[in-house]
A and B are shown apart, each in its own frame.
Chain A
Amino acid sequence: MLKKTAKILAILFFAMTFSLGQISPASALEAGDIVIQIKPADQEIELSPGKVVYGQVTVQNVGRLPFTFTVSTKPYQVLNENYDPDFNTENSYTKLHNWITFPQESFQLEPGASQDVSFKITVPENVPGGGQYAAIIVETRDSMSSDAGVRIISQLASLIYAHVEGEEHVGGVLMSHSLPNFLLSSPFTARATVKNDGNVDFRLTHTLKITDFFTNREVLSADSVDENGNFIAKATPMILPETQRSSAITWEGAPQLGVFKVTQTIAFLDQTYTYDQILILCPIWLAGAAVFFIFLIILWVILRLRKRKRGRPQVI
């Protein structure tokens, strides 16, 4: 009994003294206190060797408290087909971040205020033509709650897609595509994977057109939008040099049952691929019922044939 009480007391003592980050509840930040905004979130810039180009991003304080922020640059690449950003890898396409300088790197911003941050890109002589990619990183450490075990540093990345004048190699290959023709339950998704063989980025235009098989009425097209005005059957992802990217378009709100004509169009550079397919949508329970129905018909026919055979007069 004594041992048990001592153990409970020890745990309580441990819990009171061992914590992750408790200092003072007064310093706690709340949602909406430090909110940092940047525009544009990405931009394309044309560069020439030996020339200087000026650009800018605008940082806004859309929160309730003032904050200090700093600006810096990082290389920008992607890790995989899903295009997870990579702000660390340096290669021949990420030299741009070394060419960018800021006249001022630290700023104080009051609530509701905005700050234009200008930057200068000094392109060295004799750099090869093609794509160069970097991110302008805007960071504030004022978002760190001192009473938290995990203190958050807020960073926003404004991506720069730059094209250096010179010898550009433009090339792309359609690696794979998929367009289902029979679906029992899962949502209908059309996919395309395109590889960029060149040294400069390009955009893939991936669209779907779906029409009712029987009425020929258009259900979805490249211009179709959802209630927020976003395209639902069109994707235009950027493909960086020497990477491949998958694009998926899912038909949200597809009916459970129906027959449709689907046209998938994959276009990039001067290449256009069009695939037509008949799509049958049938819920699994209905497919099961149909199979059972067919099974019953076969059974019924067999029984009828047997009965007829038995009913025939026997010749002796």
Chain B
Amino acid sequence: MEKIIQKLLVLTGVFIGAAIAFTPLTTYADSATCRPAGVAADPDEVIDQNTTGYTQQEVTGSTNVCVYVDTVLSLDAANGGSTIVMYPDMVRTGQFNVQVRSAMPYTISLSAEEPELKEVETESYFIPARSEIVSGKVGWGIRKAGQTEGYTAVATVPQVFFDSTVNDNGTGTQLADESTWHHFEIGVSVTDRVPQGIYATDVTVTAAVKE
């Protein structure tokens, strides 16, 4: 018994030693002596290329070039919402895509003046906005970024469906990859009691930076 434990001790010791030896250790980050382009202005800083704070190497006397980039926000949400062909008692899904370009953290909020999907010709019938989209129940909803179950009912008041400080990587400081498209899944369910027709609504996508 003692011999077995001795062998286990040696093996565990070798394993721990090897594991420590092969575990990747620290990497060192780069430092900025000048505010990088696209980063929000620090209110305590005064932008002046010739001040000491912006001098990169005082030994060589070279001066860092600092360019002030204004905060810009752009939105491409035009390719939204394709046709969803419905079958009774089945949950069907579609999606629309939104791209926001910003050097600062941002949010994408959704709202609708009329949250119900209305039958376009008569406007007499509608599919209500719901968070629970299941077969056998009439409703529609949009899934928030990071939402794994269920949907969120679009309301008249804007609600945040994507937050770059939370949904990109949860760091609170990292910014969204500017080439990232955000895909919002639409879930719809109808029953055979819903009259046939084309149902639609207008959804407002609002992008705003988060200072």
- Chain A residues in the interface with B (C-beta under 8 A): 11, 14-15, 17-23, 28-42, 60, 62-63, 82-88, 135, 137, 139, 142-145, 147-159, 161, 187, 189, 203, 205, 212, 217-221, 223-226, 228-238, 246-250, 252-253, 255-258, 260, 283, 285-286, 289-290, 292-293, 296-297, 299-300, 303-304, 307
Q: Does A300 contact B196, Cβ atoms closer than 8 Å?
A: no
Tell me if B29 is interfacial: C-beta within 8 Å of chain A.
yes
Tell me if B134 is interfacial: C-beta within 8 Å of chain A.
no
Q: Does B199 contact A20, Cβ atoms closer than 8 Å?
A: yes
Q: List 23 A-B contacts (CB under 8 A).
A: A14-B196, A19-B198, A20-B199, A22-B85, A31-B97, A36-B74, A39-B72, A42-B211, A62-B74, A84-B159, A142-B78, A148-B81, A156-B74, A156-B208, A223-B31, A228-B36, A229-B38, A231-B32, A232-B174, A237-B211, A250-B174, A256-B24, A289-B19
Contacts of B169 in A (CB 8 A): 250, 252
Contacts of B210 in A (CB 8 A): 83, 85
Q: Does B198 contact A34, Cβ atoms closer than 8 Å?
A: no
Contacts of A296 in B (CB 8 A): 5, 8-9, 12
CB distance from B187 to the nearest CB of A (A): 11
Q: Does A155 contact B5, Cβ atoms closer than 8 Å?
A: no
- Kindly report which residue of chain B lies nearest to residue A229, judged by CB atoms: B36
Q: Does B76 contact A35, Cβ atoms closer than 8 Å?
A: yes
Q: Does B211 contact A307, Cβ atoms closer than 8 Å?
A: no
**Total number of B residues with any Cβ neighbor in A under 8 Å:** 99
Q: Does B199 contact A149, Cβ atoms closer than 8 Å?
A: yes
Q: Does B70 contact A39, Cβ atoms closer than 8 Å?
A: yes
Contact status of A155 and B205, CB under 8 A, knowing A18-B86, A257-B23: yes
Contacts of A283 in B (CB 8 A): 23
Q: Does B73 contact A156, Cβ atoms closer than 8 Å?
A: yes
Q: Does B86 contact A19, Cβ atoms closer than 8 Å?
A: yes
Q: Does A226 contact B29, Cβ atoms closer than 8 Å?
A: yes
Q: How far is the CA of A299 from the CA of B78 in the complex (A)?
A: 69
